[in-house]
Amino acid sequence: MALLEVTGLTRRFGGLVAVNDVSLTVETGEIHGLIGPNGAGKTTLFNVISGSLPASGGRVMFDGADVTGLPIHKLASRGMVRTFQHSQLFLNFSVYRNVLAGMHIHASSGFWAGLIDSRSTRQRNAALAERAHELVRFVGLGGLEDAVAGSLPHGHKRILQVAIGLGPQPKLLLMDEPVAGMNHADVDRMMQLVRTLPTARGTTVVLVEHNMKAVMNTCDRISVLQFGRKIAAGLPEEVAADQAVIDAYLGVFDDDVA
């Protein structure tokens, strides 16, 4: 059974059909790329899947349950977490406090837990704190726990966003342009991190990305959108050789493109 199954998903804005009858499946442990030219509907599709926008039609199945239309926080509690194209950080918080904030749905936050400083509450919060430190080290930001997030270079901010996304221990991480604005070294570092997620964290990944080299070298399978429709899907080498994809990208798959 697929971890994520999207069937006939459609999103209209008045007379504009931004996502048009899109279906795709993502298997557990997979890194799945979602690509397409500017305006193809990739981010809108992400927004509908992740609960940021309601669907105009179709269905989203996640981990065997129909989650169509569920809001972001309910999807996160079920194990689907989404990162955004633009860094969503608490810029005045430390690196460590940012990651801890990402774990809030697992914290003891009930009314009585907030009033009673029980042993179990202290133990749970101590475990969350230790896991936050472990995540900082895992993504390669060890030694920067106390650094203010707003002072980090761009590449480090994007890496921190991944750590925050991993805080709730997601089964599925939706990543919106994870290497946007990065230099070559930071791109390599980010994609190396992404490749470790299925095995090291048990996290399946779906990513939207414009960097074709990063997508082709990282993803197990790729789906391609154009004008809101899926025009191709398959292994990276199959997608790269698909004439409809080549036409849509105007030859972007030439070997000299980074």
Domain boundaries, the chain: 4-249
Judge contact between 179 and 218, C-beta under 8 A: no
pTM, whole model, 2 decimals?
Answer: 0.89
Judge contact between 48 and 54, C-beta under 8 A: yes
- Please tell me the predicted confidence (pLDDT) of residue 75: 93
| Residues 132-170 pLDDT 10s | 999 999 999 999 999 999 999 999 999 999 999 999 899
Give the separation between CA 92 and CA 63, rounded to whole angstroms: 36
Give the separation between CA 102 and CA 161, rounded to whole angstroms: 9
Question: Which has the closest alpha carbon to 208: 225, 233, 183, 184?
Answer: 225
Average pLDDT over residues 11-17: 95
Average pLDDT over residues 53-74: 95
Judge contact between 253 and 63, C-beta under 8 A: no
Q: Confidence class of residue 87 from pLDDT cuts 50, 70 and 90?
A: low
Give the separation between CA 231 and CA 247, rounded to whole angstroms: 11
DSSP 200-220: HT--EEEEE-S-HHHHHHH-S
- Please tell me the predicted confidence (pLDDT) of residue 257: 42
Question: Which has the closest alpha carbon to 168: 77, 71, 46?
Answer: 77
In the chain, what is the straight-line distance between the N-terminal and C-terminal CA atoms, in Å? 35
Please provide the CATH number assigned to the domain covering 4-249. Answer: 3.40.50.300
Given a cut of 90, whether residue 250 has pLDDT beyond it is no
DSSP state of 96: H
Give the separation between CA 223 and CA 120, rounded to whole angstroms: 45
Give the separation between CA 67 and CA 54, rounded to whole angstroms: 11
Question: Which has the closest alpha carbon to 5: 244, 172, 226?
Answer: 172
Question: Which has the closest alpha carbon to 211: 222, 203, 201?
Answer: 222
- Please tell me the predicted confidence (pLDDT) of residue 117: 64
Specify the pairing of strand 57-62 against strand 65-66: antiparallel
Structure tokens given for 149: 């997030």
57: helix, strand or coil: strand
